[in-house]
Copies of this chain bind each other. A is one copy, B any other.
Amino acid sequence: MHRTSSISELRKLIAEEKKLGKTIALVPTMGYLHRGHLTLIEKAKQTGSFVVVSIFVNPLQFGPNEDYARYPRDIERDAHLVEEVGVDLLFNPSLEEMYPHPMLTYVEVGQLDKVLCGANRPGHFRGVTTVVSKLFNIVQPDLAFFGQKDYQQYLIIRRMVSDLNLPIEVRGVPIVREEDGLALSSRNVFLTSEQRQEALILSRSLKEAADLIQRGEGSAQKIEEFIRTGITEQSQGVIDYIEVRDADDLSEVTEINRRIVIALAVKFGPTRLIDNIVVEV
Contact = CB atoms under 8 A, between A and B. Distances in A.
Contacts of A166: 137
A165 B110 contact: no
A163 B108 contact: no
Contacts of A110: 104-106
A20 interface: no
A88 to B, nearest CB: 20
Given A104-B111, A105-B107, A140 B167 contact: yes
A97 to B, nearest CB: 10
Contact of A106 (B7, B108, B162): B108
A69 interface: no
A109 interface: yes
Nearest to A134: B165
27 contacts: A7-B165, A101-B162, A104-B109, A104-B110, A104-B112, A104-B159, A104-B163, A105-B107, A105-B108, A105-B129, A105-B160, A105-B164, A106-B107, A106-B108, A106-B110, A107-B107, A107-B108, A107-B133, A107-B164, A130-B164, A133-B164, A134-B163, A134-B165, A137-B164, A137-B165, A137-B167, A140-B167
Interface of A: 7, 11, 101, 103-112, 129-130, 133-134, 137-138, 140, 159-160, 162-167
